[in-house]
Amino acid sequence: MDTEARLSLFRNMILCCHELYLWTYDSNFHLISSNCPEQTTIDSLFVMSHRREEFDRQILSGHTPIIFTNEMGLMWVMVPCFEADEFIRLYVLGPFFVDDIPPKSIEAQLNKHSLSISLRQEFLRFLRRLPIISLNRIFEYAVMLHFCVTQEKITVSDLRYSESRKQTAGAHSQSELADAHGTYKDEQEMLRMVREGDLNYQTHLDKMSVTGNLGKLSNGDAMRQMKNTVLVCVTLFSRAAIEGGLAPEVSYTLTDHYFQSVEACSTISDLVDIAHTMQADFIQRVHRCRTSHLSPPVQDCCEYISLHLEDKLTLSQLAQQAGYTEYYLSKKFKRETGLTPSEYIRKERLARAALLLRTSQDDVQDISDRLQFCSQSYFADHFRKLYGVSPTEYRRLRSE
Amino acid sequence: MRLNPNVNVPAFLEAVRSCRGEVSFVTSEGDILNLKSALSQFVFTAVVAGKLTELEGHITVQNSGDEELLYPYCMRES
């Protein structure tokens, strides 16, 4: 079956369930064809939502589908088609909302404008014709459309996200209509993966059909809805991680960190990234706890150290965390790890420094200061002892 | 100024965005759509743009210097 045949079948099958239309654009974003009865109007809505340079950058930065949200919360799935790395076509599915928050928000905004009854009613009729489809279903359609175009199987985690510059209160959320909630079974499965430190969590997640809905966690503000969803996940995951063996203090510290990161987010893309990072973080830490040969108090110390590498760390603090005297902790730590606590802390700080040298453009002096080294020369000496080269040389070698 | 009934709506709204002052579309029924507002653009595109032939609406600009930017999208006054 060729691409056009697959797309035709896909288009017709989608229409069995929703008034959701397929659009084909050329590489200059001129419309080639669509099965939408209001082609001109909806095409205008799609095109005017994008800035061309930004659009090009998004499309060309990867080969996987993009889920795009415009300023009014209206969304599309965009699947680029490449031939020998040349962008030739863009297939678009949409438009749609993922819950009733954006259309209700638009209606509320409309009520503040003094528009004639006829114009208002005509616009509301148009708005109500736009389908509301759950985000989980949209993820599945995006994966299917990508397969139709490329014959390549991807997973939900391969999807990319993009939105117009300004997000109004009508932005999309991950909830569906308020009277339906998520399946308990899926929640329990996700918490199990955290509790067991299951490193194959991504494979399990991709196989799960994440059905159901998250409920109404906010009144009318879709970004707040998304944030509250992620915050709930952080809380649930942190408790599951404690049940899996992660020290409560470590888990609570992580929770604080992710709460602050979520609150500081201003875009859906960043929020999705934080959610993925948070999940991986909890699972990997629980995995380390469960597979470590270290005793729980020493393991807890190591986790505490990893979370506070940029803070002043003293043996007194660690002993207090572990509930031991400084003398006993120091002996136990050395026996189990082969290093004294201060040697371990220095080793971890040097490893963090190496990571920063590889992945950031931070000044060597800044890295040294941040990681609490008493001087740059002290930092550089110990770095060279461990890695064989100076910090500057390490960065240079890694960037080649 | 009256809009060309076959106006390229996205291009026209892009031109509106580059105007310095406010730009409004006024319908014959007295509706005023501030075309700098995302919601008004939505309403304009969804409902008004497809009916420019029937509607006797017109464009008004706050800053007279912006008229030049919008002339390419308007009908020539006889």
**Mutation to test the B interface, candidates A28, A119, A129, most B Cβ within 10 Å:** A119
| Model pTM above 0.80 | no
pLDDT band, residue A208 (cuts 50/70/90): low
Please name the residue of chain B whose CA is at the shortest distance from the CA of residue A121: B47
A358 CB neighbour count, 10 Å cutoff = 12
Put simply, whether A28 touches B (Cβ < 8 Å) is no
User: What per-residue confidence (pLDDT) applies to A400?
Assistant: 62
3-state SS assignment for residue A97? strand
Over the stretch A118-170, which tens digit does the pLDDT of each residue have? 888 889 899 889 998 888 789 889 999 999 999 999 888 788 888 775 543 33
Residues of chain B with a CB closer than 8 angstroms to some CB in chain A = 9-10, 13-14, 27, 29-32, 38-43, 45-50
Instruction: Lowest mean pLDDT of A40-54, A299-313, A328-342, name the range.
Output: A40-54
Closest CA to A228 of A252, A219, A177: A219
pLDDT band at A175 (very low <50, low <70, confident <90, very high): very low
Phi and psi at residue A305, to the nearest 5°? -60, -45
Instruction: Using an 8 Å CB-CB cutoff, list chain B residues near A170.
Output: none
Alpha-carbon distance B33 to nearest alpha carbon in chain A (angstroms): 9
The CA-atom distances, in angstroms, between A306 and each of A303, A347, A367, B11 are 5, 11, 16, 53
Contact A44 B45 (CB under 8 A): yes
Nearest residue in chain A measured CA to CA from B48: A119
Helix A326-337 / helix A341-359 crossing angle, nearest 10 deg: 60
Report in angstroms the alpha-carbon separations of A389 from A8, A43, A366, A367, A380: 60, 57, 18, 16, 9
Name which of A48, A115, A168 is nearest B9 (Cβ-Cβ).
A48
Task: Pick from B17, B32, B47 the residue to mutate for testing the A interface (most A CBs within 10 Å).
Answer: B47
pLDDT of residue A173: 35
For chain A, positions 105-134, list CB contacts with chain B under 8 A.
106, 109-110, 113-116, 118-119, 122-123, 126-127
Residue in B29, B39, B41 nearest the CB of A118: B29
Alpha-carbon distance of A213 to A223, in angstroms, equals 16
**DSSP code at position A156:** G
pLDDT of residue A12: 94
B42 and A116: CB-CB below 8 Å? Answer: no
Write the DSSP assignment of A299-328 as a string of letters.
HHHHHHHHH-TTS---HHHHHHHHTS-HHH
Q: What's the mean pLDDT in A177-201?
A: 70
Q: How confident is the model at residue A222, as a pLDDT?
A: 64
B42–A72: do the CB atoms touch at under 8 Å? yes
Q: Do B46 and A123 lie within an 8 Å CB cutoff?
A: yes
Using the predicted structure, report yes or no on whether residue B49 has a pLDDT greater than 70: yes
Look at residue A104 and tell me whether its pLDDT is greater than 50. yes
The percent of residues in chain A predicted with pLDDT above 70, rounded, is 89
Between residues A253 and A102, which one has the greater pLDDT?
A: A253
Taking CA atoms, what residue in A is nearest to B8?
A44
